[in-house]
Amino acid sequence: MKQKFQENARVQQAQLQRLRREFEILKMQNGESVNDYISRVMILANDMRGVGETMKDEHIVEKIMRTLSDKYNYIICSIEELKDINKMTEDELHNSLLMHEHKIK
């Protein structure tokens, strides 16, 4: 039983390493909508949490803000100036970006 637990722990650690790598290289693709991109980020974040990663909301918010396409640069600057990013949730960021995206379209 001890050996089986150690093997499961190794498998989980390998999965977590793979998910961390995917999370690190994740970027918004040209033409991708805010909804689609944030969904991809949240799926990965939830998968990582599922195998034991402790990921704070602020880490996810920062990741999204860093990796949006260039057309969102000025809205990111506005958000950084007006709001405390350390207290911002993914939903708040998502709503702000959606309002901006709808105005663009």
Residue 7 has pLDDT above 70, yes or no: no
Please tell me the number of Cα atoms within 13 Å of 87 on its side-chain side.
Answer: 3
Q: Is 81 exposed, middle or buried (0-12, 13-18, 19+ CB in 10 A)?
A: exposed
Please say if the pLDDT value at position 78 is more than 60: yes
Q: What is the pLDDT of residues 39-75, one digit of tens each?
A: 999 999 999 999 989 989 999 999 999 999 998 898 8
Kindly tell me if the per-residue pLDDT of 19 is higher than 90.
yes
What does the alpha-carbon distance between residue 71 and residue 34 come to, in Å, rounded to a whole number? Answer: 11
The pLDDT of residue 104 is: 76
pLDDT exceeds 90 at position 3: no
pLDDT for position 34: 94
